[in-house]
Amino acid sequence: MIDGNTSMTLALVLANIAVYVMTSANESIFNASKHYPYLEKRDKSYYRWITSGFLHANLLHLGLNLIVLYQFGGTVETVFKSLFGFFTGGIVFLGCYFVILLMSGLPTFLKFRNNPNYSSVGASGAVSGILFIYTVYFPMNLLYILGLVPIPAILFGGLYLFYSKWASSRSEDHIDHDAHYYGAVAGLLIGAIIRFGVAG
């Protein structure tokens, strides 16, 4: 998949790896860049909505996000370049990624802006959105749960939304399920607008 049609996806993957290496050796940069709603409300450090999307807690967290981003982002980027042309399609893909990242961070900010003990990191919100843009274009393509059980992308998407919303309501772990859910919803809406509206 490493070709000109997936250059933006590859750039995002490499950027995430570079930031992980840099912040692994510098905790102060990590802390200054993570999504911290309580502090954002008070010092207006809304840049964290973007920077936190390039931070990861550990190699497993990084690896899972980048595998999904590379697999599905490359396909979405190729679709956009076929629709809008090489340069414009790449910009549209990159724009979608960052818009989804912002949209997935907003609900978390609103929910935890008065909680000084909450912070989060990760590209999961944006990656979820890219996965759902893929689902809009290829709803019947088979995705494999745990690499074993094949189900159509549209069914996988429904189960993913249900689980993310359910897990968010429980709030018993330290995973930002709100970002997963709203990132997926943002991707679904953006994908539908592009497929059936702008490029319909």
Structural contact between residues 138 and 129, judged by C-beta atoms closer than 8 angstroms? no
| Residues of the chain where predicted confidence (pLDDT) is lower than 70 | 1-4, 146, 168, 170-175, 199-200
Structural contact between residues 93 and 77, judged by C-beta atoms closer than 8 angstroms? yes
Structural contact between residues 96 and 128, judged by C-beta atoms closer than 8 angstroms? no
* pLDDT at position 86: 94
Q: What is the pLDDT of residues 113-152, one digit of tens each?
A: 999 999 999 999 999 999 999 999 999 999 887 678 889 9
Torsion of CA 124, 99, 199, 80, to 10 degrees: -60
At residue 200, what is the residue type?
A: G
* pLDDT at position 176: 79
Q: What is the pTM of this model?
A: 0.91
Structural contact between residues 142 and 150, judged by C-beta atoms closer than 8 angstroms? yes
Domain 4-198: which CATH number of 2.60.40.420, 1.20.1540.10, 3.40.190.10, 3.40.50.720:
1.20.1540.10
* pLDDT at position 1: 47
* pLDDT at position 160: 81
Bridge partners of 152? Answer: 142
Secondary structure (DSSP) of 99-118? HHHHHHHHHHHHHHTT-TT-
- Picking from 150, 141, 131, the residue whose alpha carbon sits closest to that of residue 70 is 131
* pLDDT at position 175: 66
